[in-house]
Amino acid sequence: MRKTAILLGTVAAVLAIASCGSSTPAAPTAAAAPGAAKITITDAFGPVELAAPATRVVSLEWTYTEELLALGVAPVGVADMGVYNDWVTAGPRVAETTLDVGTRQEPNLETIASLKPDLIVGAADRFTSNLQSLKDIAPVLAFRWNDPAKPQLTTMRESFLALAEAVGKDAKASEVLAGLDATMASAKTKLSTVGKTFALAYPAGGAGAATVTVFAKPSLASQILEAAGMTNGWTGTADGDGLSTVGVEALTGLPADVNFLYVSPAGDDTFVKLADNKVWTGLPFVQAAHTYLLDPTPWFYGGPLSAEQLLTQTVATLVK
């Protein structure tokens, strides 16, 4: 899915790989109230039926952990829980009582089964080998965030609403999305007073290395900023996640008046360390001091609250 955690500069996220134990008998799903209609959600693999809104949810992807917390639902288990609060800085925090269920790549099936969940949610492209084993434990919702047939911003909204339906939080979802829309409208007004062309990047080759990853137009982060009236000045070829990893020399193709937004390891600003790189220092936007560090780093692959954070930080950085 999404570059495991965007490993910025020299930061190496070495996550312990939990062993996948053999699956245990499935926990009973939530019983529907007499006469209650079943809930059917369509995910990346087809319809998923729930007898009632889920109350014991295990999240195997940070996007959906963030979204559950935004909906007021505390997941009983979270993958890579130990570093979630470090990387996803928007919204409520994961409670200390929540159980870590292994990594997002290799969740521990025995630990998940022990929690007796009535729903497991995660990213479709991580379920290539364990989908049936997870379904043996509880119903599984698998979302595909980078569906090439849809803009990523549309996909984020749709999956958020589908997850809200699965946990019986439709009204809360509408409230959260209304908050995002209000923040977006406010940002659009405020950003209209500054240069609208932007590029958004992070270091790809270590502190001081002359390689960067740039968010292209298909990326969620780009679409969030463009929805606020900005224009992505980067026109390079993107991968399936909407990213372009290039040498600094490629940045010469950016417009001279671009606002270059970036993130970098705390206390080890990669772009500052490029001070001896003549290509970097010769870029018009560098010479004009139009490079801007976003801190704390937004989670660029999150839900509505991370989207709001990106907008708020961009306004605070550019509008003086």
Q: What is the pLDDT of residues 261-303, one digit of tens each?
A: 999 877 678 888 888 899 999 999 999 999 999 988 899 999 9
pTM above 0.85, yes or no: yes
Answer for the pair 268, 207: CB distance below 8 angstroms, yes or no: yes
Q: What is the pLDDT of residue 243?
A: 96
Mean pLDDT of 34-44: 82
Q: What is the pLDDT of residue 275?
A: 87
Whether residue 205 is predicted with pLDDT greater than 60 in this model: the reply is yes
**Cα-Cα-Cα-Cα dihedral sign, residues 12, 17, 18, 22:** positive
Tokens of 48: 């998923």
Q: Provide the pLDDT confidence category of residue 14 given band limits of 50, 70 and 90.
A: very low
Q: What is the pLDDT of residue 147?
A: 87
Answer for the pair 14, 4: CB distance below 8 angstroms, yes or no: no
Whether residue 13 is predicted with pLDDT greater than 60 in this model: the reply is no
Cα angle 162, 308, 173 (rounded to 5 degrees) comes to 25
Q: Provide the pLDDT confidence category of residue 81 given band limits of 50, 70 and 90.
A: very high
Whether residue 245 is predicted with pLDDT greater than 50 in this model: the reply is yes
Q: What is the pLDDT of residue 17?
A: 31
Whether residue 255 is predicted with pLDDT greater than 60 in this model: the reply is yes
Say what percent of the chain tops pLDDT 70.
87
Mean pLDDT of 148-160: 95
Answer for the pair 113, 24: CB distance below 8 angstroms, yes or no: yes
Bridging pattern class, strands 211-215 and 197-203: antiparallel
Q: What is the mean pLDDT of the chain?
A: 88
Answer for the pair 238, 219: CB distance below 8 angstroms, yes or no: yes
Mean pLDDT of 63-91: 96
Answer for the pair 5, 24: CB distance below 8 angstroms, yes or no: no
All structural domains of the chain, each given as residue ranges with its CATH number in brackets, are: 39-178 (3.40.50.1980), 190-318 (3.40.50.1980)
pLDDT digits (tens, 9 = 90+) for 99-152: 999 999 999 999 999 999 999 999 999 998 999 999 999 999 999 988 888 999
Mean pLDDT of 225-242: 96
Whether residue 52 is predicted with pLDDT greater than 50 in this model: the reply is yes
Considering only CA atoms, which of 57, 8, 19, 296 is closest in space to residue 164?
57
Say what percent of the chain tops pLDDT 90.
77
